[in-house]
Structure 1
Amino acid sequence: MPLFRVSGGRGAEKSGRQKIKKMKWRDGSRRTDDEGSVQSLTRLCLLSLVDNMKEVWVKDYAEKYLDQYFFRHIMGPFNSLPGDLVEELIFLLCSRKKLSRAGLHLLLVPQLKSLLLDKCPGLLTSSLCVHIAARCQGLWNLDLSGAQQLPSKVLSKTLCSVPALRSLSLAGTPCDECVIRTIFLHCRLLRHLDVSRCHFLAPAALLSLVGRALCSSSACPSSTLFCSTSATEPSTSSCTLEHSSPTTSESLPPLPLSRILALDIGFGEEEEDSVTVAAYLLLSLPSLKELAIEGLAQACSLIEHRDFSKTVEFTEREKFPRLIEVWRKEKHRQDSERMTERHERAVAEDEEHKDEEEEEIMWEEYSQENDRDENREERPSCSLIQAQGEVSSSFSDECLVLHLKDVKGITCDFLDSLCHLCPDIYNISVNIVDPEDTSRRSQCSVLAAGLQTWSGQLQSLSLLYPGLLDDLLPALHVTGSSLLSLSLEGVKNINIALLEVMHACPKLHELLIFAESPTIPQTNVMEQQDDNPQLPNLRTLTINFSHNPIQKRPDFLWRSFANALCCLLMGSPLLEKVSLVSLPCPLDRILNYVLQEGFFNIFPVVNFQGLSNSHLKRLQHINLTRTDVMMGTVNNLMRNCKRLKFVNLSHCWEICQSDLQYCTKFRNVEVVYV
């Protein structure tokens, strides 16, 4: 007889199994990843490590060894894990703000290929950089952004030990000329470099990346950096400077950089140097595809018109080759490539012509066929002679072409030069900040004409424009058919033009609008529309208004904007991230309308029939800061959106602290309230 008997017979046993199965499914349904599907066993194990990192995995090391000893290598619990799992574990710890100094010591294993610490810059110290240099010498990707406490010498010493780097981010660090020179000498495989917001880095220091600039800084006087780290006495590791001839760096070719981000560097004392430096980088790095630096558009104009006389003072001061010489070398390289391509094309065409002649000769007599073959081999091809004759005469007239595909921070003043030199651009960021309103509108016309060059190929467009959104519509109609990402910052009066933006850009995956708060009530009411603009591929929506403390309640007369917002929320079934901050319209009524699928016709101006019924089903993150949303609407939102993970209700005046107790039953949703 069994020790335990199930009462109720086989029927009760079957129902019990169904109940257990149902309970397991409910438990598993709560453990979903960012895409909403059930998580893998590997990820669940990593999440368990994250939850128990402090109490279990690093407790003994933190209490006994952290500050008492220095270990060049640690045979800890994570040494046997593959590098990609350790990288994911570090990412999860950083994103959940659970990464500690002791935990990072244990996770610095030799198999790491990527180390991204931009989300926890406070952990980055000089001693930790010594650990990175000693243990992670095979890194391909290193991100130390925001580590303002790291001295320049520590950065140089660390970079000497990671020669395999392909991507490096030092944004917001004390990076200077010595660090750049160290990168050139020791990181010979580097392709991506981000030194934005490095205020100790002068624009001229970037010329060390091309290998022919001389260090002019007193801290790094014409020397080559050689870093040595002692294995037995790591505390005495130092970065020594050994003098060498200037030809040491000149003999090395430029780095294979394809991406340089260097916005907001230096202290602004040498702003004119940025134009010359940008020109040198464009002409000296042929593999460069993305460049972000002040003066980029002016540099393109300088190269196009060959106005190199303005750079003589800079070249004499920095002891760098004249820009005209660099231009001639790049022009000669491009001409040689074109000549080779045309020669190969001519040879291919000649071979095709020979094949056609041979087919005709097959029907002639054998004796005549052999004679013609011998004569044809001795006589050079007519097409090849013609191609070689055209090459020498045409190359001198062809302009130099830059292969940039991504540019940021340019203005409309020299946009035409950028259009002529860079025909392959697919991502561009333009600033239109002229104080005069009439001048801004004229620049919008120039912008529309310039963007015509990349019509049909532009994928991402970012515009900074402190004016009416209506002024930007011509530019959006030119490029909107191919845009996947659109960012508009500083615009005004978006209530009417928002629907036009949706019509002009039907393929958007990302729409970011940072608008100015309205100063006067809006009374515009749209006419009835028969068609509903939809963005079926939209995944990220951000419409944030600047905070206006005078107007805390929304203006219900923003009827047209409310209609457009309803179209966005109801016509974008793939939405995952939504941010709606300080809206000047009743957001609570809009969300109720969307969640109840238009049960109450509170916005009769636009006909919403035919829109998708899967409203916000994929929503994961939503920000509702400074809106009139109520707690009942938030609860309804969390019930309907099964994948929701994060809700920001900061400064929502219709919600109080006591209302948050109703959110406790939604355990998977993180609610922020200030």
Structure 2
Amino acid sequence: MSRVREVVTLTGLCLQNIAENMQNFWMKDYVMKNMEEYNFLFIEGPFNQLAGPLVQELIRILGESHKLNKGCLHLLLQPHLSELSLRPCAGLVNVAIMQLVTVRCKHLTSVDLHSCNRVPGPSLAALMEGLPRLTKLCLADTQCDSLVLEAIGRSCPRLCELDISRCKKVSPSGLLSLVYDPKSATYCCRALRVLLLEDVKPKGGPEQWAQALSFVLLALPYLEELSNPSLPTALSLLYHGRFTEGGACFNGFPSLAEVAQTRVPNVMNHQTSPVPPKPGHQRTSMMKERLRLKKLEDLGEEDVPMFGSLCPLVDKVNISLGSQSLVTWSLVQWPQLSELTLHCSEKPERTLEEFLAMVQVIGKNLQVLCVQNLLWCQDQSLTNLLTMCPNLKSFQGYFTVLRQNLLPDEPELPPWPGDPLPLPHLHTLRLLMEGDGSSQAIFQHKLGGSLVSILKGSPLLESLSLCGVTAPLDGVFEVVYGSNPPQPLQKLSSVSLCLSNVSQWGASLILRSRSNLRTLDLSHCKEVTCRDHHQLQERVRRDGRNVTITWM
């Protein structure tokens, strides 16, 4: 059956037509008359009449098709733009282009300069000083420095999101310039909710970064996300009240104890009158206040109780598991948790089974669940886990299957259950397996039955990846696609069966379905031959479908 082709909107066709004719038609007159006037302020022409979002979309199309140049930017940098992303043409952006943006685009609320690293700090600072309406700003991988951060703090009071990841000139003391102005002794950027600071450690040691992040956490009462490897250390410092004794930790800035005194207790309850803590009771004060952080990454499991108490609003968490089981923590302190990742960073020594009861407590709220590098000891553990999480949208599981001790008189393999496992919202399922236990016949059979139930109960599944799965997938797809209406797996667009037990028959069942399939990966599938691969490709060609089939 022919695949339904994507419908291109009339607006999209018009913009593509403009992009195709940009050089030969739209740029011709401008290049002849005005190209050398880099500060040409007002341009009469079609683009000052085009809605701002359409101008931005045209910049994206031209940038991704490598048809954008400085002349095009001169035409497209219009005063009525409210959002501007120069990421698609980062290599073209220089001081002259920044001056044009600074002079022309006064009403911007969102700016993305990701990888525009040819622009020096003073030019970035001048731009920030002219954009008081900014609410979202990306300066990742630029020459952003203390001067730029100071300009942002002083000039952008509405800023809610800031990304300064991979900025090599950002230092711990410079970061403080974002949230505090020493000249006026006032706090800045109080509306900031998201601050991304990944890979910005060339200057300053871990202790300085921890102190700087603690300062930021105290100075920004509504901060919901702070991305940096030193965040756990900073949170520990705040929890235990280990504030710097003997003055400020950075010259010209208040000490952490002084910043803590300006905090409004119970900011989550929107109280407005500051109540300074009594001397020597900083830890008690912090424990009463709590932080608004909603996302925590790379937590050690030993820190979960502490950070759960300090950050009760967390809805996304990534927990790193040690080699030994710790029974002193749970997830009940995060009732709003919607995304959970559990992973062993080294050799898997923890079992999936020991976390089932823990996940059950918050399972109904989970939308994204990722369990990585765990041992799988009991064949029904996957079914039990997914049953606890009926509202999942995405599941990723990477397991090492242990060999089970089976009785010599193992009974005949039971028939697969026909009932679906209800996962009405699941759109992504990824399962990677290895280990000796996966080769046992009873495990393969029971896993096949689990997959039948999961696939039959996931009507919205779009992406399916089964890597190293030794269950008989031909039989699994036979049962699933042979189900009574409604036909399952109608939303599938991507299927990967790398290293799994599937033959041409199972692959053809997927191709014969009515799904909007785009990619089918059969890499390293031993039961699929080169001839099978050619026959599957020929079938797709005959049906007039646009499906990419990968095989090695």
**Normalised TM-score (structure 2):** 0.78
Q: Which residue of 2 aligns with 1:247?
A: 183
Q: Deviations over 1:379-416 (max 9, x none)?
A: xxxxxxxxxxxxxxxx9898223233333333333322
Whether the 8 Å contact between 2:109 and 2:135 is mirrored in structure 1 is yes
Partner of residue 227, structure 1? none
Q: Quick one: distance in 1 between partners of 2:501 and 2:65?
A: 34
2:422 to 510, 534, 545: 534
Among 332, 336, 340, which residue is 1:461 paired with? 340
2:150 to 144, 165, 181: 181
CA distance in 2, matches of 1:152, 1:331: 34
Distance (whole Å) between structure 2 residues aligned to residue 127 and residue 431 of structure 1 = 47
Corresponding residue of 1:344: none
The yes-or-no answer on 1:328 pairing with 2:328 is: no
Q: Which residue of structure 1 lines up, in the alignment, with residue 278 of structure 2?
A: none
Alignment match, 1:487: 370
Equivalent residues of 1:461, 1:487 under 8 A apart: yes
Cα offset for 1:573?
0.5
Counterpart position of 2:390: 506
- Specify the alignment match of 2:477 in structure 1: 592
Structure with more helix by fraction: 1
Contact 1:292–1:409 at 8 Å: present in 2 too? no
Give the count of matched residue pairs.
Answer: 518
The alpha carbon displacement at 1:282 in A equals: 1.9
- CA positional deviation for 1:482: 1.2
SS at match of 1:481: helix
Amino acid at match of 1:315: A
8 Å CA contact retained: 1:274, 1:294: no
Counterpart position of 1:18: none
From the superposition, tell whether residues 81 and 331 of structure 1 become closer, same or farther in structure 2 (CA, over 3 Å): closer
Per mean C-alpha deviation after superposition, the further-off stretch among 625-634 and 469-478 is 625-634
1:199-233 CA-partner distances (Å, limit 9, x unpaired): 44234432122114xxxxxxxxxxxxxxxxxxxxx
* Gap change, CA 1:252 and 1:283, over 3 Å in 2: closer
Q: Does 1:264 align with 2:137?
A: no
Q: Identify if the C-alpha distance between structure 1 residues 561 and 91 changes in structure 2 by more than 3 Å, giving closer, same or farther.
A: farther
Q: What is the rounded CA distance, in whole Å, between the counterparts of 1:579 and 1:292 in structure 2?
A: 30
Amino acid at match of 1:459: S
Structure 1: segments with no counterpart, 5+ residues: 1-25, 33-38, 213-245, 342-394, 599-610
Equivalent residue runs for 1:110-189 within 5 Å: 110-116=79-85, 118=87, 128-147=97-116, 151-189=120-158
1:582 to 450, 455, 467: 467
Query: What is aligned with 1:617?
Result: 490
Counterpart in the other structure of 2:51: 82
Give ranges in structure 2 of 5+ residues lacking alignment. 275-283
Query: For 2:308, which of 415, 419, 426 is the aligned residue?
Result: 419
Percent identical: 25
CA contact (8 A) 1:620 1:643 kept: yes
In 1, are the aligned partners of 2:187 and 2:219 still within 8 Å (CA)? no
Q: How does 1:138-537 map to 2 (within 5 A)?
A: 138-147=107-116, 151-212=120-181, 246-248=182-184, 250-251=185-186, 253-267=188-202, 270-308=205-243, 311-312=244-245, 315-331=248-264, 399-432=288-321, 434=322, 437-438=323-324, 441-442=325-326, 445-448=327-330, 451-455=331-335, 457-466=336-345, 467=348, 468-493=351-376, 496-513=380-397, 515=398, 518=400, 532-537=420-425
Determine helix, strand or coil for the equivalent of 1:619. coil
TM-score by length of 1: 0.65
Alpha-carbon distance in structure 2 between the residues aligned to 1:126 and 1:558: 62
1:584-630, Cα deviation, whole Å (9 max, x unpaired): 326752663255326xxxxxxxxxxxx97431112234445565666
User: Is contact 1:555-1:585 (8 Å) kept?
Assistant: no
Tell me the C-alpha RMSD between the 2 structures: 4.3
Q: CA deviation at 1:540?
A: 2.5
Look up the SS of the partner of 2:198 in the other structure: coil
Q: How far apart, CA to CA, are the structure 1 residues paired with 2:489 and 2:405?
A: 29
With over 3 angstroms needed to count, the CA separation of the structure-2 counterparts of 1:267 and 1:666, relative to structure 1, is farther
Moved more, 656-665 or 272-281: 656-665
Checking the alignment, whether the CA contact within 8 Å between 1:555 and 1:586 is kept in structure 2 is no
Task: Please say if residues 211 and 253 of structure 1, whose CA atoms lie closer than 8 Å, have aligned partners that are also in contact.
Answer: yes
User: Residues of 2 paired with 1:69 and 1:93: CA distance?
Assistant: 21
Larger radius of gyration: 1
SS at match of 2:289: coil
